[in-house]
Structure 1
Amino acid sequence: MYVPPGWPPEVRPPGSPDWQTSAVNWLLDAVPPDYRAYGVLRRHPLALARMAGHTVRAQVEGARAGYRDAAVDLKEHLPPHVVEAVLEVYRREGPRLVALAESIALVERALRGEEFVEGRR
C-alpha cells in the first residue's frame, strides 16, 4: 500500500489491519498526556486527528513567537551562550513540529477516507 512522503513510520498504512489503532496511539503521543483521559478521542480517531492538528499547529506558532522574542526577552537574564542555546532549541524544534503537523494532516486525510496514489498529492 502506498503512503505519501511524510507518512509517520509508526502508523500502519491505511487499510491494513489495525491501522487506525496505530494512528490513535501515534496521535496520542503527539498531544498533551491529558488527552488520553477522553475516551471519545480513542473511539473517534478523526476527532483526535483534528484536535492533534490544531494542537501541533499552535505549538508551531508558539515556537515561532518564542524564537522571535527569545534573544530580546532573555538577554538581560541569561548569558549569551545560553540565549544562543535556547535559540538552537527553537531552530531544531520548529522544523520537527512543522513535519509533525504535516504528518498529522496526512493521517487525518486517510481517516477521512482519502486514498493516496503515487504521484498525486
Structure 2
Amino acid sequence: MPTYVAPPGWPGLVRPPDAPDWERTAQNWLLDICPPEYRSYPALRNHLVVLARFAVLHVEAQQAAVRRGLSEARADLREVAQLDVVDAAVATWQAEDARLSGVRRSAGLVEEALRGRRFIARL
C-alpha cells in the first residue's frame, strides 16, 4: 500500500500529493483562498500550477495589506475611535497576520507539489 506524505503546514482540506484525487482537492482549496472571480477564468481552472501561483501572490498581497494596516492603525484610527477600539483593531490585524502566514505556507507547499516536488516522511 502506497504511503502519501504531506509536510507540516499542508492544508487539511487537500489530500497529500499523489493520493487519489489530490489535484481536485488542491484546486478546490486554492480557489477557496482566492477571490471568487478567479473561478471564472479558464486559465486558472484548467492549469493548476498557474492557479497556485496566483493564489500565492494573492495571499502575499493580503499579507502586505495587513502589515500596512497594522503599521498605520494607531495613527489612522486614534481620531475616529476610542483607544479600546483601536487596540481591538490592532489585535485583529495581528491575528490576521498570523492566519495569513499559515495560509501562505500552505499555498506554497501546494504549489511546490503541483510543480513536482514530493515530500519524504521524517522521523
TM-score by length of structure 2 reads 0.94
Query: Following TM superposition, where does structure 1 have runs of at least 4 consecutive aligned residues deviating by more than 2 angstroms?
Result: none
String of CA shifts for 1:12-68, please: whole Å, max 9, x gaps: 111111111100100011111111111221111100000000010111111111101
- Which residue of the other structure, out of 89, 100, 118, is the alignment partner of 2:92? 89
Q: Which residue in the other structure is 1:29 paired with?
A: 32
Q: Which residue in the other structure is 1:10 paired with?
A: 13
Output the amino acid matched with 1:67.
L
- Which residue of the other structure, out of 44, 54, 57, is the alignment partner of 2:60? 57
Deviation at 1:80, TM superposition (A): 1.0
- Identity percentage of aligned residues: 45
Residue ranges of structure 2 left out of the alignment (5+ in a row): none
Output the amino acid matched with 2:109.
L
Q: Which residue in the other structure is 1:43 paired with?
A: 46
Output the amino acid matched with 2:46.
R
Residue ranges of structure 1 left out of the alignment (5+ in a row): none
TM-score by length of structure 1 reads 0.95
Aligned length: 119
Q: Which residue in the other structure is 2:69 paired with?
A: 66
Distance 1:111 1:8 in 2: 14
Q: Give the root-mean-square deviation of aligned CA atoms.
A: 0.8
Distance 1:88 1:114 in 2: 36
Deviation at 1:118, TM superposition (A): 2.3
